[in-house]
């Protein structure tokens, strides 16, 4: 049972998909284009609820017919995209990336990719340009929602006296509150999962259920149409990736979408007709689903090959290619499965074919994943590549230190922290810092073994040892850095045997407020004074200086020695990928200089190193400079030495990289060993 066609909704679809397309192709101004997905959610909630409600009231609702429509709508365009992604990934990706792609193909086929990408959304997740199916998270959200929602409406019709609106409004409020709370405390889950996204679909559902009275005047419809467009365009042009989302921020584009849909219910308006039903816009609305599916893989593979931001020509080429592919897909793939002369008209046969396609896709994805990305397809021609990359990326030492991190987060609960160095002796030093400190653990462990010392490891990603400082980041995990650092300080204070504290962090990033200028996955960082001394917004440099100075003063007051360690060069590109592309596809890399110069490093670290150098003047504070070993004779950053990659990604040293810079700590550990020896003599006397 179909609804009357509304060209204005196709116009709204066009705005949504173009916003996403322009955002992903880096068209200037479309910094909030990601809200197009939220517009789609509202449209979907309205249309599907309208159809289901009409069938329920006519006593013609059928779950089988509902899912038949979903299959005809979703499957035909989706699986050619999956096939293309699989083929392109097999040609371009290394074994690690291809293994992950196999998993995402299986998850996409089972409409659970939102859960997979949520689980992969941590600090060390693969960059988005290795996830050509990342955009399918929104399809998964919709399909999971539609597993429950039609059954819920049927249940309400039969057992709850048809009080649809009451129950949908209750679910809407719960989901919205969870979204507003979750965006501050669990942003990853809030972005990807159904419970915190369902309210957006329910806005459309409530409109279909008659939550608002019919509009009787054209001026009312015109005002709503213009207001809705203003809301959507405001969020497209003024939101950024740093905007907490969804939560309360999503209310603006969602309400804007609702206004436009509502204004067209019961009759169109001149303004809506002129603005939203123009032929080019309506046509883009018709092909919007295929356009959404095709554009992101093209963006991903283009970025994967180019190693640079898009310029205007790049963006135009991808937009044009996406439009052409989407038009072809709509005309020759989507349309034949819908309409009067559709392919596979029998429902049983359609379900059988859909089932076979799903089994094949899941099977292919599973084989790729279980066979570890099929390294043989590369090793046959370049036998050294997989071993070199695996040594850097699939490092059991790094993984072990990640498990140590989880234990460190519970430092305030009197747990036993991990120790490196000589067995059976009292730890006399502590390494404290973020993931860049974690990356240097192998260097300190080697030095401790050689010098006969031992020390505690206290590292947590994105948590430098700044006293009284909170870190607000665009992928915030809700961890309380300030409280954790207070617990670390208490731990050190209660253990007099700890005489030396080694502080390592990604200093430049905390000051600059973003990852490296060439980073392929951006992340924003704001430092805030958790103690309230600086209530107004201040520069990250000031807050870092204040927090680090507090830390060092507290440690010096305990009569401890402090070793500050400057940061190593950030490459800005995934080094294993650079190595693979330079080996296999040199054409795409020969014009790009991946290694930072000393001048670029100094500019990036200028403010951070100035703070470290000033603190180095304090008694019992020593600054160590590992970056001195990370530049070659031409003044360019090293990414390989002795046939081994020195980085595991775009900024973290690999175990081989850590061991490469280990000699800069010779003097530090020599002094610690001497102090330990002197302490034993005094104790003996």
Domain count for the chain, please give it: 2
Band (572; pLDDT cuts 50, 70, 90): confident
Gap between the Cα atoms of 216 and 220, Å rounded: 8
Contact 447, 665 (CB under 8 A): yes
> For residue 428, what are the CA distances in angstroms to 487, 555, 562?
18, 14, 12
**SS3 state at 196:** helix
pLDDT at 520 over 60: no
The answer to whether residue 684 is domain-embedded is no
Q: Region 60-64: what's the mean pLDDT? A: 91
Gap between the Cα atoms of 569 and 670, Å rounded: 26
pLDDT at 339 over 80: no
Residues 366 and 393 in one domain: no
User: Taking the chain, what is the end-to-end CA distance rounded to the nearest angstrom?
Assistant: 95
CB under 8 Å to 306, separation ≥6 — which residues?
314, 588
Residues 340 and 411 in one domain: no
Q: What is the pLDDT of residue 123?
A: 63
Gap between the Cα atoms of 656 and 391, Å rounded: 9
What the block records as the tokens of 195 is 């419970």
Give the phi and the psi of residue 517 in degrees, each rounded to 5: -60, -25
What the block records as the tokens of 606 is 């200028």
CB under 8 Å to 260, separation ≥6 — which residues?
8, 12, 224, 225, 228, 229, 232, 272, 276
The residue assigned the tokens 């169109």 is 268
pLDDT 10s digits, 260-289: 999 888 766 667 667 788 889 999 999 999
Residues comprising the chain, all counted: 685
Q: What is the pLDDT of residue 33?
A: 96
The answer to whether residue 297 is domain-embedded is yes
Band (137; pLDDT cuts 50, 70, 90): very high
DSSP 29: T
Residues 370 and 417 in one domain: no
Residues 353 and 434 in one domain: no
Band (672; pLDDT cuts 50, 70, 90): very high
The last residue of a domain, from among 336, 351, 374: 374
The last residue of a domain, from among 374, 403, 425: 374
Element (H, E) at 487: helix 481-493
Instruction: Provide the sign of the torsion angle of the four alpha carbons 103, 106, 109, 114, taken in this order.
Output: negative
Higher pLDDT residue, 267 or 455?
Answer: 455
Q: What is the pLDDT of residue 684?
A: 46
Pairing assessment for the beta strands 429-433 and 454-459 based on DSSP bridges: parallel
The answer to whether residue 683 is domain-embedded is no
Residues 516 and 618 in one domain: yes
The DSSP code sequence of 90-140 is HHH--HHHHHHHHHHHHHHHTT-HHHHHHHT-STTPPPGGG-TTGGGHHHH
Residues 629 and 484 in one domain: yes
CB under 8 Å to 129, separation ≥6 — which residues?
300, 303, 304, 520, 521
DSSP 570: P
The answer to whether residue 1 is domain-embedded is no
Gap between the Cα atoms of 295 and 145, Å rounded: 24
pLDDT at 105 over 70: yes
Four-CA torsion 166, 170, 173, 175, nearest 10 degrees: -130
CB under 8 Å to 180, separation ≥6 — which residues?
247, 248
Higher pLDDT residue, 140 or 183?
Answer: 140
The answer to whether residue 681 is domain-embedded is no
pLDDT 10s digits, 148-161: 999 999 999 988 88
| Exposure on the CB side of residue 243, measured as CA atoms within 13 A | 21
Q: Region 219-243: what's the mean pLDDT? A: 92
Residues 120 and 43 in one domain: yes
pLDDT 10s digits, 326-338: 999 999 999 999 8
pLDDT 10s digits, 344-366: 989 999 999 999 999 999 999 99
Q: Region 15-44: what's the mean pLDDT? A: 96
pLDDT at 413 over 80: no
Residues 272 and 403 in one domain: no
Full domain range(s) for residue 581: 389-672
Q: What is the pLDDT of residue 269?
A: 60
Give the phi and the psi of residue 623 in degrees, each rounded to 5: -105, 125
The answer to whether residue 574 is domain-embedded is yes
DSSP 336: G
Give the phi and the psi of residue 7 in degrees, each rounded to 5: -65, -30
Q: What is the pLDDT of residue 14?
A: 96
Least confident of 213-217, 406-410, 540-544, 555-559: 213-217
Residues facing residue 528 across a β-bridge: 470
The answer to whether residue 481 is domain-embedded is yes
Gap between the Cα atoms of 474 and 476, Å rounded: 6
DSSP 533: S
Least confident of 2-16, 170-184, 226-240: 2-16
The answer to whether residue 382 is domain-embedded is no
Contact 313, 26 (CB under 8 A): no
Residues 323 and 414 in one domain: no
Q: Region 467-489: what's the mean pLDDT? A: 83
Mean pLDDT score of the chain: 91
Gap between the Cα atoms of 150 and 53, Å rounded: 9
Residues 297 and 421 in one domain: no
Residues 445 and 358 in one domain: no
How many helices, marked H, and strands, marked E, lie in the chain? 29, 10
pLDDT 10s digits, 304-327: 988 888 999 999 999 999 999 999
- Using alpha carbons only, give the angle 285, 290, 293 rounded to the nearest 5 degrees: 120
Pairing assessment for the beta strands 621-624 and 429-433 based on DSSP bridges: unpaired
Q: What is the CATH number of the domain that holds 418?
A: 3.40.50.1110
For residues 92-115, one letter each, b for 16 or more C-beta atoms within 10 angstroms of the residue's C-beta and e for the rest, the string is bbbbbbbbbbbbbbbbbbbbbbbb
The last residue of a domain, from among 325, 347, 374: 374
Q: What is the pLDDT of residue 685?
A: 43
Q: What percent of the chain has pLDDT over 90?
A: 73
CB under 8 Å to 383, separation ≥6 — which residues?
none
Q: What is the pLDDT of residue 264?
A: 84
Q: What is the pLDDT of residue 124?
A: 62
Residues 359 and 400 in one domain: no
Of 602, 525, 453, 591, give the one whose Cα is nearest residue 123. 525
């Amino acid at each position: 049972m179909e609804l009357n066609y509304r060209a204005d909704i196709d116009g709204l679809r066009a705005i949504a998909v173009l916003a996403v397309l322009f955002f992903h192709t880096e068209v200037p101004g479309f910094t909030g284009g990601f809200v197009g997905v939220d517009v789609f959610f509202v449209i979907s909630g309205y249309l599907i609820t309208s159809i289901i409600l009409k069938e329920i009231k006519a006593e013609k609702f059928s779950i089988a017919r509902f899912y038949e429509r979903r299959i005809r709508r979703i499957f035909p365009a989706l699986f050619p995209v999956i096939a293309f992604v699989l083929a392109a990934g097999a040609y371009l990706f290394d074994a690690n990336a291809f293994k992950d792609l196999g998993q995402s193909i299986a998850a996409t086929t089972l409409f659970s990719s939102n859960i997979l990408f949520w689980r992969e959304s941590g600090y060390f997740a693969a960059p988005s340009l290795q996830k050509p199916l990342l955009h399918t998270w929104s399809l998964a959200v919709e399909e999971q929602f539609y597993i429950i929602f039609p059954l819920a409406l049927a249940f309400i019709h039969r057992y709850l006296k048809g009080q649809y609106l009451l129950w949908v409004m209750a679910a809407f409020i719960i989901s919205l509150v969870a979204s507003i709370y979750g965006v501050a405390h669990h942003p990853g889950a809030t972005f990807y999962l159904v419970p915190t996204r369902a309210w957006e679909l329910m806005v459309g559902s409530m409109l279909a259920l008659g939550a608002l009275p019919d509009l009787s005047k054209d001026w009312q419809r015109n005002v709503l149409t213009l207001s809705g467009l203003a809301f959507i365009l405001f969020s497209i042009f003024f939101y950024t990736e740093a905007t907490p989302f969804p939560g309360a921020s999503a209310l603006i584009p969602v309400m804007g979408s609702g206004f436009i849909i509502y204004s067209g219910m019961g009759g169109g308006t001149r303004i809506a007709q002129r603005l939203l039903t123009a032929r080019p816009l309506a046509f883009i609305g018709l092909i919007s689903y295929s356009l959404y599916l095709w554009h992101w893989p093209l963006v991903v593979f283009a970025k994967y090959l180019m190693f640079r931001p898009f310029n205007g020509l790049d963006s135009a080429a991808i937009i044009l290619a996406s439009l052409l592919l989407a038009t072809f897909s709509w005309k020759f793939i989507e349309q034949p499965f819908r309409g009067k002369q559709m392919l596979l008209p029998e429902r049983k046969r359609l379900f059988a074919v859909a089932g076979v396609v799903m089994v094949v896709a899941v099977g292919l994805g599973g084989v790729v994943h279980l066979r570890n990305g099929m390294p043989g397809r590369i090793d046959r021609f370049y036998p050294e590549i997989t071993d070199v990359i695996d040594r850097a990326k699939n490092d059991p030492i790094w993984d072990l230190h990640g498990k140590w991190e989880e234990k460190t987060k519970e430092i305030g609960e009197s747990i036993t922290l991990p120790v490196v160095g000589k067995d059976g002796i009292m730890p006399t030093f502590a390494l404290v810092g973020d993931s860049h400190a974690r990356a240097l653990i192998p260097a300190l462990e080697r030095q401790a073994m050689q010098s006969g010392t031992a020390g505690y490891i206290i590292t947590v990603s994105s948590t430098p040892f700044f006293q009284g400082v909170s870190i607000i980041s665009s992928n915030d995990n809700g961890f309380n850095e300030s409280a954790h650092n207070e617990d670390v300080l208490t731990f050190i204070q209660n253990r007099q045997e700890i005489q030396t504290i080694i502080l390592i962090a990604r200093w430049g990033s905390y000051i600059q407020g973003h990852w490296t200028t060439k980073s392929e996955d951006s992340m924003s960082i704001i430092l805030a004074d958790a103690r309230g001394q600086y209530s107004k917004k201040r520069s990250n440099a000031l807050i870092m200086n204040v927090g680090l100075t507090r830390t060092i003063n507290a440690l010096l007051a305990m009569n401890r020695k402090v070793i500050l360690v400057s940061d190593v060069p950030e490459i800005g590109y995934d080094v294993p990928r650079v190595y693979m592309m330079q080996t296999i596809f040199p054409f795409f890399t020969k014009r790009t200089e991946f290694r930072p110069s000393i001048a670029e490093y100094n500019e990036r670290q200028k403010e951070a190193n100035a703070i470290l150098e000033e603190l180095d003047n304090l008694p019992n504070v020593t600054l160590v400079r590992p970056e001195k070993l990370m530049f070659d004779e031409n003044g360019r950053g090293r990414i390989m030495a002795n046939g081994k990659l020195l980085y595991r990604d775009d900024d973290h040293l690999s175990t081989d990289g850590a061991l490469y810079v280990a000699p800069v700590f010779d003097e530090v550990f020599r002094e610690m060993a001497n102090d330990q020896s002197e302490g034993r003599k005094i104790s003996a006397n």
